[in-house]
């Protein structure tokens, strides 16, 4: 079972695909944590009738970059 299968099963609890959108923040977390490419997430999602919310993906990416920059500034100021 792949990480994507686990996430999709967790989204609806039974493994039945009632949702139409794959959460963009989850797609970002897959990339940020496991290095799982978003294009592969999109491909695998499309095979299951899902669409990755790329707006939410980009927003989560931007938030992660801001947090990373804030942490770097904080560490430098110490």
State residue 22's pLDDT score. Answer: 86
pTM of the model as a whole: 0.70
Q: What are phi and psi of 22, to 5 degrees?
A: -95, 125
Q: What are phi and psi of 23, to 5 degrees?
A: -60, 130
Higher pLDDT among residues 2 and 48, named by residue: 48
State residue 38's pLDDT score. Answer: 95
Give dist(CA 67, CA 65) in Å, integer: 5
Q: What is the pLDDT of residues 38-59, one digit of tens each?
A: 999 999 888 888 899 999 999 9
Cβ atoms of 4 and 45 closer than 8 Å = yes
């Amino acid at each position: 079972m792949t990480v994507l299968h686990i996430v999709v099963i967790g989204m609806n609890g039974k493994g039945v695909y009632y949702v139409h959108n794959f959460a963009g923040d989850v797609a970002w977390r897959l990339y940020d944590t496991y290095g799982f490419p978003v294009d592969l997430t999109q491909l695998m999602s499309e095979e299951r009738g899902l669409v990755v919310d790329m707006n939410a993906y980009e927003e989560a990416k931007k938030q992660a970059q801001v947090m990373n920059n804030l942490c770097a500034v904080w560490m430098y100021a110490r």
